[in-house]
Structure 1
Amino acid sequence: MAGNEAPILVHHGTTSNQLPLHKFKRWHWWLLVSINIFFLLAGQCAAVLLGRYYYDKGGNSKWLATLVQTAAFPILLVPLLFIPSTLKPSTESTSSSIAVISFIYVILGVVIAGDNMLYSVGLLYLSASTYSLICATQLAFNAIFSYFINSQKFTALIFNSVVVLSLSASLIAVNDDSSGPSGLSKWKYALGFLTTLAASALYSLLLSIMQLTFQKVLKRETFAVVLEMQIYTSVVATCVAIIGLFASGEWRTLHGEMNGFTEGRTSYIMTIIGTAVSWQVCSVGVVGLIFVVSSLFSNVISTLSLALTPIASVIIFHDRMNGVKIIAMLMAIWGFATYIYQNYLDDLKARKLQSEHADGNYQSPSSYC
């Protein structure tokens, strides 16, 4: 993540061989946050566009689209190899048994697979720009889950961010011009909208549960633990997707789908690989921000793709960008900006507290957001 720096621990707890966030320099903390934001935005934007490209050029397998969202998890083993062994999690350092942790990972993996399927169905029936704007509702869902599960505190600016982003997605829902990519029927558009909405709610719940797992079960919030959670849950989700691919019989159509791909077999393979890698890059950013800041902040950053994906969709896929979509996008950007401003105010408060304590007991902005 941040070069050869030691993994960072959030403010919820420490161990003898972990570096607490409040002892980490401010610019180090912001660098780590910035890197994770880049991973999330670049990975999510690329993955959505490649997913839409797959469907537009002849792809039709929902289970394959689900599988590629987690299948590239082996690439996460690479950064894990560069983490010193003294900083890797051990069974002696956690009060929870391996059985309990394994059970949580299995449950999370199964739910992730189901959530990925919902997203795959939504992207099949919606344009990339419409799909991305509907996904903004995940912030509103996460606000609710964070309040009840993670004891998230809200300010007027955060509340404003949630409301504005929710209204932005609502505009898309009532937009009569939001037809699917191939002029699909109204009921298929409605199905795409509802599945994407359900996926956003489930995704938000997952983020809050992951944060709770870090705090209450794993109790070692290092980047090594972040990676291991991502790897193990991805293994389970990938296995579920493979079972679904064979149980549904869609695997029989893949050879013909590849031969019939508009841009050729090579393009088909590269699209699948690129989508898989992009989703893993996005996942590292998502879980990394949960680790460094909070699940709500991670979800807010996800909505920033609303300023990128719709514009890229218009350029690449010639999606229709009518007045309602433009207003929805501007509202989404405003909602994101107000939340970022709240984090800026939190950082100023943290610096003030730091100057007031002679022992340098600095708390990161994550302590307040």
Structure 2
Amino acid sequence: MPDNQEPILIKDETLTDQLPLLRFNRWQWWFMVALNIFFLLAGQSAAVVLGRFYYAQGGNSTWMATLIQTAAFPILLIPLFFLPSSKDPSTSSTQPSITKLASIYLSLGVLLAGDNMLYSTGLLYLSASTYSLLCATQLAFNAVFSFFINSQKFTSLILNSVVLLSFSAALLSVNEEDSDGPSGVSKWKHALGFICTVGASAIYSLLLSLMQFTFQKILKKETFSVVLEMQIYTSAVATCVSIVGLFASGEWNTLQEEMEGFGKGRVSYVMTLVWTAVAWQVCSVGVVGLIFVVSSLFSNVISTVALAVVPIASVIVFHDKMNGVKIIALLLALWGFASYIYQNYIDDCKVRKAQTDVENRNDSSC
């Protein structure tokens, strides 16, 4: 559902095309939203905690951490096999060429690989709670990209959400009491972690807006299989790039030693990588699914809900310190999220009213 949509000006023949919500019944739309929110939150929270666990127990390969963010994409072929085909005979003549699609997936995949590398570096030098809260800056970047790329409109509630979430992350950047970071990390590496995480957030926001643009302007399909195809193809490209980086950097030669020295043992090392890879794919399906069903900005906002999960999990698992600054940052993030959810509720009511008005006018003209 496009944010801050003005339904009064929409003509009935283009209503469905402009409002993704109307592709489904009301309950179907909310079910799709809820399901993708669950995928995103569960996957992201588990992946960040497991990623921090990998580093905490002796893992130090940033390219391996980058690779596992996309390496499990083949498991998405299972649900894709059981879903209806995304091909629509009525629109087959307007579908983009194979060359154009390949260029899009290749570009997005390379961008995704670079983004994952920056995130891996940030998580290496930051605590899981600080890393998670700092990722909220992606919402501010997405607001800019959505405005220019996706013609995103903003209300006071959306702007309030963006400002609060951005300010939440800004509090962490000036927090000099982050003594709960990984041991042995120097100040400049800690600063590097901040820079990489913020840079990754900017690229991630650009990636989401480009995906939304691809769905709306190029693919123009309305099935969930399109979501899986987007994730599979871009992840395949990103995985290939990560494998090249793993070998080119020489980190491949240290993996055997890394496994032997892993704090919890070899089996734990393998299982940590496997489940982290699975968690990232679950998260990615939720991210791309929300872009398809709602918008890139909404997908980004939902990602910030993990701010309420990851820091708490980090306190339990890694004994991270939740000082006053982090608590305030967390409360601001939750306030910002609530503002956006309320705006989405208002938009939902407007869209449904517009649909009812169109149906009434059509009935009266018969």
**Same fold judged by TM-score > 0.5?**
yes
CA shift digits 1:240-270 (9 cap, x unpaired): 0000000000000001100110100010000
Shift of residue 224 of structure 1? Answer: 1.2
Other structure's SS at 2:359 match: coil
Shift of residue 24 of structure 1? Answer: 2.4
Q: Which letter maps to 2:308?
A: A
Other structure's SS at 1:167 match: helix
The yes-or-no answer on 1:41 pairing with 2:41 is yes
1:261 alignment partner in structure 2: 262
What is the alpha-carbon distance in structure 2 between the residues aligned to residue 242 and residue 339 of structure 1?
Answer: 38
Shift of residue 221 of structure 1? Answer: 3.4
Matches within 5 A, 1:45-124: 45-85=45-85, 87-88=86-87, 92-124=92-124
Cα 1:360/1:214, change in 2 over 3 Å: farther
Retained in 2: the 8 A contact 1:94–1:218? no
What is the alpha-carbon distance in structure 1 between the residues aligned to residue 88 and residue 255 of structure 2?
Answer: 40
What is the alpha-carbon distance in structure 1 between the residues aligned to residue 16 and residue 267 of structure 2?
Answer: 47
Retained in 2: the 8 A contact 1:135–1:200? yes
Other structure's SS at 2:17 match: coil
Shift of residue 284 of structure 1? Answer: 0.2
Shift of residue 11 of structure 1? Answer: 4.1
Shift of residue 217 of structure 1? Answer: 1.3
Shift of residue 23 of structure 1? Answer: 5.2
Q: Which runs of 5 or more residues in structure 2 are unaligned?
A: 1-14
Q: Which runs of 5 or more residues in structure 1 are unaligned?
A: 1-9, 15-19, 362-369
1:147 alignment partner in structure 2: 147
Shift of residue 114 of structure 1? Answer: 0.4
Cα 1:93/1:322, change in 2 over 3 Å: farther
What is the alpha-carbon distance in structure 1 between the residues aligned to residue 182 and residue 23 of structure 2?
Answer: 50
The yes-or-no answer on 1:278 pairing with 2:276 is no
Retained in 1: the 8 A contact 2:112–2:238? yes
Q: Which letter maps to 2:186?
A: S
2:24 alignment partner in structure 1: 24
Matches within 5 A, 1:174-323: 174-179=174-179, 180-323=181-324
Other structure's SS at 1:358 match: helix
What is the alpha-carbon distance in structure 1 between the residues aligned to residue 157 and residue 29 of structure 2?
Answer: 23
What is the alpha-carbon distance in structure 2 between the residues aligned to residue 214 and residue 202 of structure 1?
Answer: 18
What is the alpha-carbon distance in structure 1 between the residues aligned to residue 204 and residue 301 of structure 2?
Answer: 13
Shift of residue 177 of structure 1? Answer: 1.1
Retained in 2: the 8 A contact 1:258–1:265? yes
Shift of residue 353 of structure 1? Answer: 2.2
What is the alpha-carbon distance in structure 2 between the residues aligned to residue 244 and residue 360 of structure 1?
Answer: 60
CA shift digits 1:277-336 (9 cap, x unpaired): 000000000000000000000000001100110111011110011000000000000000
Retained in 1: the 8 A contact 2:125–2:190? yes
What is the alpha-carbon distance in structure 1 between the residues aligned to residue 73 and residue 149 of structure 2?
Answer: 28
Retained in 1: the 8 A contact 2:23–2:222? no
Shift of residue 102 of structure 1? Answer: 0.3
The yes-or-no answer on 1:12 pairing with 2:17 is yes
Q: Which moved more, 1:93-102 or 1:236-245?
A: 93-102
What is the alpha-carbon distance in structure 2 between the residues aligned to residue 155 and residue 103 of structure 1?
Answer: 35
What is the alpha-carbon distance in structure 2 between the residues aligned to residue 234 and residue 11 of structure 1?
Answer: 30
What is the alpha-carbon distance in structure 1 between the residues aligned to residue 21 and residue 349 of structure 2?
Answer: 16
What is the alpha-carbon distance in structure 2 between the residues aligned to residue 13 and residue 331 of structure 1?
Answer: 32
Cα 1:292/1:176, change in 2 over 3 Å: same
Cα 1:199/1:174, change in 2 over 3 Å: same
Shift of residue 357 of structure 1? Answer: 3.0
Other structure's SS at 1:357 match: helix
Cα 1:353/1:178, change in 2 over 3 Å: same
1:166 alignment partner in structure 2: 166
What is the alpha-carbon distance in structure 2 between the residues aligned to residue 84 and residue 190 of structure 1?
Answer: 48
Shift of residue 347 of structure 1? Answer: 1.4
What is the alpha-carbon distance in structure 2 between the residues aligned to residue 352 and residue 34 of structure 1?
Answer: 22
What is the alpha-carbon distance in structure 2 between the residues aligned to residue 178 and residue 337 of structure 1?
Answer: 27
2:330 alignment partner in structure 1: 329
Shift of residue 349 of structure 1? Answer: 1.6
Q: Which letter maps to 2:84?
A: P
What is the alpha-carbon distance in structure 1 between the residues aligned to residue 247 and residue 24 of structure 2?
Answer: 48
Cα 1:163/1:21, change in 2 over 3 Å: closer
Shift of residue 95 of structure 1? Answer: 3.4
What is the alpha-carbon distance in structure 1 between the residues aligned to residue 16 and residue 258 of structure 2?
Answer: 50
Q: Which letter maps to 1:39?
A: F
Retained in 2: the 8 A contact 1:89–1:225? no
Retained in 2: the 8 A contact 1:141–1:204? yes
Q: Which structure: greater helix fraction?
A: 2
Retained in 1: the 8 A contact 2:80–2:225? yes
Cα 1:238/1:360, change in 2 over 3 Å: farther
